[in-house]
Amino acid sequence: MKTSKPQKHLMLATALVTILAATSAFAADGDKSKIKGLITAVNGNTLTVKDGNNAEQTINVSADTKLKKTKGLTGVIHSKVEPGALIPGLPISADVVAAGSGFNATEISFKSEDFKTAQQVQAGLAPTAARMDDFGTYEALATTEVLFASGSTTISPKGKSDLDALAAKAKETKNYQIVMQGFTDSTGNAEANQRLSTMRGAAVSNYLQQKAGLMPGRVRAPDGMGVAADAGSGSNANARKVVVKLVVDKGVQDGAK
């Protein structure tokens, strides 16, 4: 049976559209993008990462790739991360450039807490990939605010009592963590307020470890946040504070049950 010219043209057009649709799913060399996912395998300098769509991506790491580890709820960046920290089970966020069938990474970042969890997974001390979706998802079990006098880092008797109560609850909680953020009111200059908020956080951290008896490894380094978002203008007693939270990582907590 002969095919008419219009039918041939239609068939060719359909085939061309199919080919274009297929190739459009692949990024062109040099295209920049971001991949977020879980490292499932490491082969030399090549990572296999399962992204949010459950698709496996190949990411190449080089000496020029910047590696960043963040810590705490505010994501403070820590430098000098070795490539060996990129291990299976670690959730990462990668800035990449398309290259052939894979990608070259220009920057890779991950959370310090996620790295610890990935280490535990490899050591058989925490749940496997079935629980990975929950890792890094924190649940606050208790919160207290320690208030300070203007310009002071001294913890009041009430503040000490509140911290003692929080510490007692923490000691009854498996796999707990303590996170802290220090704040000031809006008086004074920004540089001085930044220092003061950090010093207040350090004062609370020291009390929890030295007086309340919490394990140093469970009390995270405090974050100095400067002026509180609710400080308003002038001297505001409620803004001169350290917010302290007792939290658990849901992934680790569920795996420990």
Please name the residues in contact with 215: beta carbons below 8 A apart, sequence gap of 6 or more: 209
Same domain, 144 and 244: yes
144 within some domain:
yes
Question: The domain containing residue 106 runs over which residues?
Answer: 28-133
> Number of structural domains, the chain?
2
How far is it, in rounded angstroms, from Cα 62 to Cα 162? 49
Same domain, 229 and 177: yes
CB atoms under 10 Å from CB of 202, counted, come to 17
Same domain, 129 and 141: no
The whole-number pLDDT of residue 134 equals 43
3 within some domain:
no
Residue 108: CATH number of its domain: 2.40.50.320
199 within some domain:
yes
8 within some domain:
no
CB atoms under 10 Å from CB of 128, counted, come to 11
φ/ψ region of 126 (left if φ > 0, alpha if ψ in -120 to 50, else beta) reads: beta
| Residue 9 Cα to chain centre, angstroms | 54
The pTM of the full predicted model, rounded to 2 decimals, is 0.49
Helix/strand/coil percent split, the chain, to 5: 35, 35, 35
Q: Please, what are the averages of pLDDT over each run of 10 residues along the chain (257 residues)?
A: 55 51 57 89 88 88 88 57 82 91 91 76 47 57 95 96 97 91 92 93 95 91 88 90 89 53
The whole-number pLDDT of residue 202 equals 94
Tokens of 52: 């949010």
Q: At 222, give phi and psi (nearest 5°).
A: -70, 150
The whole-number pLDDT of residue 229 equals 86
The whole-number pLDDT of residue 120 equals 65
Same domain, 45 and 103: yes
